[in-house]
Amino acid sequence: MSEPRAVIDVSGLPDVAFGSKNAVWWGTLGFMLIEGSTLAICAVTYFYLRRNFDPFPPGATPPPDLPLPTLSLLALLASLAPATLTSRAAKRFDAAGVRRWLAVGLVVMTAAVVLRALEFPALNTRWKSDAYGSIAWFTLGFHLSLLVVNLAESVVIAAIFFLGRAERKHFSDAADDACYWFFVVLVWVPLYVTVYLTPRFL
C-alpha cells in the first residue's frame, strides 16, 4: 500500500491575479528592466558625448526645436489618464469600462505615436551627421519602437474585448498592458529633458 500524501485544497483561490501575484506581471517587469537599461545607456552615452563636444550640439548644429516634441510629450502624459481608468476597470472585471477606456486610450496613444514619428526633423541633425546626431536619433527611435509595440499590444487586447472573446484572465492582461504603458511614458520624461533641454542649458 502506498503511503498517504499531503494535499492542499486550492479550490478557494482566485483564478485571476493582478500585480505581483501574476506571473505575466513579472514578465512585464523584466521587459521594463531590460528596456529601461537600454534607455539608461542611451542617456549615459549622450552625456559622455556631451563632454567631448564644445560647443554642444557640435559645429553649427542648432539645438532641437521644442514645439512638436513638447506636444508629443503632452500627448503621452495625457494617455496616462485612460490607461489608469482601464486598469481600474480591469481590476473590477468591468468589461464595458475596459472597452470604453481602451478605446479612448488607443486614440490618444495613436496620436502620440504619430507625433513621435514626425519628431525626428525637430532634432535639427541627421543620424549620420556625427556622434551627437546618432545618439539623439537612436534614443528617439528606440523609444518609438517601444511605443509602437505597446500600441500593437493594446490593439490586440482591445480586439479581444470588443469581439466578445474576453475571458477573466484577459482582465489582468489589460491591467498589465496599462502598467507597461505607464513605464513607456514616464521613462521618456527624463529623456525628453536630456535630448531637448540639455543642449540649451548644459
CB atoms within 10 A of CB 176: 23
At 54 the pLDDT is: 79
Q: Show the beta-strand stretches assigned E in the chain.
A: none
CA 175, 74, 37, 146 dihedral sign is positive
For residue 144, is pLDDT > 60? yes
pLDDT band (50, 70, 90) for residue 57: confident
% of the chain with per-residue pLDDT over 70:
94
Closest CA to 45 of 194, 200, 196, 201: 194
> Taking the model in full, what pTM does it have?
0.87
Closest CA to 73 of 200, 199, 193, 153: 193
Give 7-49 pLDDT, tens digit per residue: 775 555 566 777 777 778 888 889 899 999 999 999 999 999 8
C-alpha cell, 36? 529601461
At 202 the pLDDT is: 73
Q: Return the CATH architecture of domain 22-47+66-201.
A: Up-down Bundle (1.20)
At 138 the pLDDT is: 95
